[in-house]
Amino acid sequence: MKIKLKEAADLVGGVVIGNSQTELTGIAKIEEAKKGDLTFLYLPAYEKFLNSTEASAVLISPEFRKTRTDINYIEVKNPNVALQKIIITFLQPKINLTGIDKTASIHDSVIIGKNVSVGKNVVIEAGAIIGDNSIIYHNSVLMENVKVGSNCLIYTNVSVRENCVIGNNVIIHSNTVIGSDGFGYIPDEKGVYQKVPQVGNVILEDNVELGSNVSIDRAALGSTIIKNGVKIDNLVQIAHNVSVGDNTAIASQSGIAGSTTIGKNCILAGQVGIVGHIEITDSVIVGAQSGVSKSITKPGKYRGSPADDMGKMLKLEAHIRNVPSYAEKIKKLEEKIASLEEKISQIISKGT
């Protein structure tokens, strides 16, 4: 990266305060930035670093004071969004994998589009289809009849089981498994679990991104569906026949049990657990470490285990934190009451 400050400002519609010809060679956090770096300030908690940063320029919102005159600023309404735009434009990671490596094992029946790249030791089985401009990194396996759309990026050691479908512009990070068997067993008359064949598939629609070590189980029948624009963090488990709606985001270590439907534009924070066979409507936010045990029918924010209205649960948690002080107050009140009762008893005894 080597750009002028003015180029960055023009890209994000910002106003330069300082030398617009300052050369920028990198991007760094405000507390770690050095000469030549562009940094950003958008949270008050980081304002303390403004006086000590060695950055050459700071993306900054209008409400922050520009206390230093020895550095440059790009004043912009939303520094965080502006920074992401600059990173995407000037620091987009380069993909060095091109062509099809000679160690790849690709069945003769596989249909491969234009400009497809396939890395070392990749296995693509019979009946698979790979769309134009897609990239499949080393050691990944695509089993029979897998369909991959155009402009997809599949990183190392990804496994895609038979008959699964991946849309366009999908990114799958390392060690993720698409289409593993759903957790389906029935105990026989002796109480021994017998495996129920999982004969469905997984469908990832367009513009989905999956983090590393995500497991998405194939449906028992039909499809497990991850819809358009869904973003899933590392270490997430999605069980068989789950449906996740458009543009929903799911954070790390969350788990969704079988046959549950998640609506559009939802957010599941870290370590959220959701039971099976329920529905969560559109535009729901579930706070971290919450357990959802029944359907959520109204948009809003939820928290706790079992999850309930976030405002209500935050008040409840505040009361729980105060239980020791409540207990001490109750103890003192009991002592006062006992003392008053003793005095009243003495007065009554004297009166008689």
Same-domain check for residues 55 and 180: no
Q: Say if residue 244's pLDDT is above 70.
A: yes
Kind and range of the H or E run holding 301? strand 300-303
The whole domain housing 29 covers 3-90
68 in any annotated domain: yes
pTM, full prediction: 0.86
CA-atom Rg of the chain in angstroms: 29
CB count within 10 Å of CB 85 equals 15
Same-domain check for residues 171 and 306: yes
Same-domain check for residues 202 and 223: yes
Same-domain check for residues 295 and 329: no
71 in any annotated domain: yes
List pLDDT tens digits, range 145-178. 999 999 999 999 999 999 999 999 999 999 999 9
What pLDDT does 93 receive?
78
Q: Across the chain, how many H-helices and E-strands are there?
A: 4, 39
Q: Which residue, 90, 109, 132, sits at the end of a domain?
A: 90
CATH number at residue 213: 2.160.10.10
Same-domain check for residues 337 and 262: no
Same-domain check for residues 45 and 179: no
List pLDDT tens digits, range 253-266. 999 999 999 999 99
How large is the angle between the packed helices 310-321 and 323-351, nearest 10 degrees? Answer: 60
Mean pLDDT of 26-32: 96
Q: Is-contact 239 197, C-beta < 8 A?
A: no
Same-domain check for residues 246 and 300: yes
347 in any annotated domain: yes
Same-domain check for residues 181 and 296: yes
Same-domain check for residues 299 and 188: yes
DSSP class of residue 289 equals T
What pLDDT does 277 receive?
98
124 in any annotated domain: no
Q: Which residue, 65, 90, 115, sits at the end of a domain?
A: 90
What pLDDT does 352 receive?
61
Same-domain check for residues 176 and 276: yes
Same-domain check for residues 66 and 32: yes
CA 83 – CA 99 distance, rounded (Å): 33
Same-domain check for residues 217 and 304: yes
List pLDDT tens digits, range 175-187. 999 999 999 999 9
**Percent of the chain, pLDDT > 70?**
99
| CA 58 to each of CA 9, 189, 236: distance values in angstroms, whole numbers, following the listed order | 11, 70, 36
CB count within 10 Å of CB 329 equals 11
Q: Which residue, 62, 90, 118, sits at the end of a domain?
A: 90
Amino acid at position 202, single letter: V
List residues with catalytic annotation. Answer: 240
Q: Could you tell me which residues are beta bridge partners of residue 202?
A: 224
140 in any annotated domain: no
What pLDDT does 220 receive?
96
101 in any annotated domain: no
Q: Minimal CA–CA distance to 137: which of 94, 96, 177, 88?
A: 96
164 in any annotated domain: yes
Give the count of domains, the chain: 3
CATH number at residue 84: 3.40.1390.10
244 in any annotated domain: yes
CA 199 – CA 193 distance, rounded (Å): 18
